[in-house]
Structure 1
């Protein structure tokens, strides 16, 4: 609940900060209006941390640059064509944009940039009422033409104008609704939700890069579950991430399998919990969160009904391929695509550990296969336990505790993070008397398997094994 008296005090404090007060004085002296706008105002009222300072003004870009240059240590005009000038003032980065009155053609999300002449006119063209509030400076007057304060108090996301028109102007705003639902914990007004359903297909005009950016921001929030539900319920997810709504598999009357969609959302929640407990205060691990959300997307394609119930054989392998394809279509970078697909592929590997004690060799292979993703695999695997059966959950938890302890012990004994054969390529060539080539690679892999199976060997024993392998191979 927003306490308005306290919120106004926070706004006064924000307005009195060195950066804001310096900028406000400079624009007043130049005879121009200035207002702090959007997210900083909203977050100050909610008592959330304010990271970005966005301003709007009646001054045109050239005039903005002239005003900020004397009071800033750096300036950039990369957004000049859209009316935006950036600057560094009192150690903070700010962006100042000329009032806008854009028009959209309905065929693309790129507006025909038009500068406006009033703060109120600029505000009503914004995405949601809670982002359409401004703090006029330097007098510190709250400007709220669309009822943003009431919606902030009510925890509601509503568009300043008809949502059908707003989302028609810029379909990306529908994804922003999902992001803010996760970030702020707000509900979406029924009118806006209905318009999202009606206009879901218009998302197709938005570039994959823009969609990826909003998905990443949603997954970076503390509680993305509500936003993902909104995307699925309105049909938006079908346009760019259809594998998630496809998880809503029909459950048979005997409940032979759990609700995969709900399970996946719970795994995402739990993965975020493990991430925060292990790395408090660090940036969100989007790779882990993508893997948690997508880890079971291979199940719809592999679902089989058999006498004993429902099976999903090889859904880990199928899911890894689907994840790679989908993330590629969303223009994620190659490292993220590779790592998420690998985590999806490996997410079932641990469950064999609960069925029979692994040998040291099996533990070494688990570590080798996970490579630098081992800790993420730890968190994903633990998060994948969503059973309500406490005995089963405890058994899995104890088993994974044991596995992590064994990994730590072997790592200390054998430097497992850099497991290599006991002989390098040069020594293999010397022992076998062969030049560089395919044979050396095969010998290297043979010795690596021996190393994984048995641990470190003395050099003379490794050479004896190599010569025996070579003799058998030559027969």
Structure 2
């Protein structure tokens, strides 16, 4: 089989061979070679114990060495090429793990063969190896054939594989999104039958797989696989809940299918690396996936067969915050995604009646650094098949963005502050710091948003008028 292999892999193989040790490139890098995909980090396994190959790795890794995985038999190193690119390698002693059924963490025991090590891997497409430096291809479980067929299959019985490590079920749906493969039927049945096992996996591990799924090339297919497998019922139940039954008159669309369309459209609106929302953008993709999760809780059947979802934006924002906290996302990501969900209907009033400059300033001020993402989420959410309505919506959004651009040329909308600060208010009103100053400051901010920049004299006159009104 013809391979174009990293020269560093061959060099490292020679270094191990000189010391009498076996070394093989394994897992993702071998799979990606067959798929002609880029692979930046190189994983190896070896017959040597960590204490035996540590000196080799330290010599190889001119620019870095780490041993955080020593207790699992793993050491890592890094070197920089002449062009500045980094090559990171991790080497692990052949393993033969034994699992506790109440935990996905194996009791590590070293193995004695490459084939035995490959048998403990998650899927056949990741259970291939390339011995270095002689480049002998090792594929005991037919991984190359499965790549050609585009299927995901476990090297051993899938029930045993998922019993040993339930996170492999999440990895399966993630690989659907990343590789465009389908899950082999027996493997898919095993996942469906064993979804409860995912509950022993930490929230952080589940979150990491969801993130990788969403940042992949095909998150639409990954989300469908997550729902079809039944895993979503446990790890992200708000999404399968969107599969609302269509009413008998078919007057409202399936919210789940709508959500997948919004996700696709939002991704298409991401920009290049120099644009305002560089692809792939996790914040935008999470907001697109979760923007309508408040609909099931707010659904009401109205007269004449109509269906409403009043306040699903606000309700959904609270649900987003709760679910993302449960999945241990960081606070800033939770704040941003919940804010986008809360504001995703804000623009719709503009379509019916264009806003004043004051309303435009408020929109920009309230969205803050999320302005570009909010506009893209709003555009993505407009999935109507009525061409006339779609055109009106697009024109209104274009007009808003044009108005914002012009206003930004006149003033810094992202840094709007009242024309009088807290000290000014205290001096003019002759009051002590306290709640009154806060109320006055908020009023002057509203005045600034409504009227744009004003002179100090105009601002002082407005403050004094407000103060008299307050008594």
Q: TM-score band (shorter)?
A: over 0.9
Q: CA deviation at 1:284?
A: 2.2
Alignment partner, residue 336 of structure 2: 339
Say whether the 8 Å CA contact 2:232–2:239 is kept in structure 1: yes
Alignment partner, residue 291 of structure 1: 287
Say whether the 8 Å CA contact 1:222–1:272 is kept in structure 2: no
- SS in structure 1 at match of 2:68: strand
Alignment partner, residue 38 of structure 1: 27
Are 2:357 and 1:360 equivalent residues in the alignment?
A: yes
Are 2:60 and 1:82 equivalent residues in the alignment?
A: no
Say whether the 8 Å CA contact 1:126–1:132 is kept in structure 2: yes
TM-score in terms of structure 1 length: 0.95
Say whether the 8 Å CA contact 2:40–2:88 is kept in structure 1: no
Say whether the 8 Å CA contact 2:267–2:279 is kept in structure 1: no
1:26-105 aligned within 5 A: 26-73=15-62, 74-90=64-80, 91-105=86-100
- SS in structure 2 at match of 1:354: helix
Q: CA deviation at 1:279?
A: 5.5
- SS in structure 2 at match of 1:230: helix
Deviations 1:132-152 (A, max 9, x none): 111101100110000001011
Say whether the 8 Å CA contact 1:65–1:75 is kept in structure 2: no
Distance in 1 (CA, whole Å) between partners of 2:39 and 2:273 is: 25
Unaligned runs of 5+ in 1: 1-7
1:85-164 aligned within 5 A: 85-90=75-80, 91-164=86-159
Alignment partner, residue 349 of structure 1: 346
Distance in 2 (CA, whole Å) between partners of 1:115 and 1:391 is: 66
Distance in 2 (CA, whole Å) between partners of 1:39 and 1:240 is: 25
Unaligned runs of 5+ in 2: 81-85
Say whether the 8 Å CA contact 1:200–1:235 is kept in structure 2: yes
Q: CA deviation at 1:278?
A: 7.6
Say whether the 8 Å CA contact 1:26–1:68 is kept in structure 2: no
Of the three residues 308, 315, 323, the one matched with 1:318 is 315
Alignment partner, residue 83 of structure 2: none
1:209-288 aligned within 5 A: 209-276=204-271, 282=278, 284-288=280-284
Distance in 1 (CA, whole Å) between partners of 2:170 and 2:335 is: 25
Deviations 1:392-425 (A, max 9, x none): 2121111111111111111111211111111111
Alignment partner, residue 4 of structure 1: none
Alignment partner, residue 3 of structure 1: none
Q: CA deviation at 1:461?
A: 0.5
1:353-432 aligned within 5 A: 353-432=350-429
TM-score in terms of structure 2 length: 0.96
Distance in 1 (CA, whole Å) between partners of 2:261 and 2:388 is: 19
- SS in structure 2 at match of 1:50: coil
- SS in structure 2 at match of 1:353: helix
Distance in 2 (CA, whole Å) between partners of 1:141 and 1:271 is: 44
Q: CA deviation at 1:64?
A: 1.8
- SS in structure 1 at match of 2:352: coil
Are 2:448 and 1:451 equivalent residues in the alignment?
A: yes
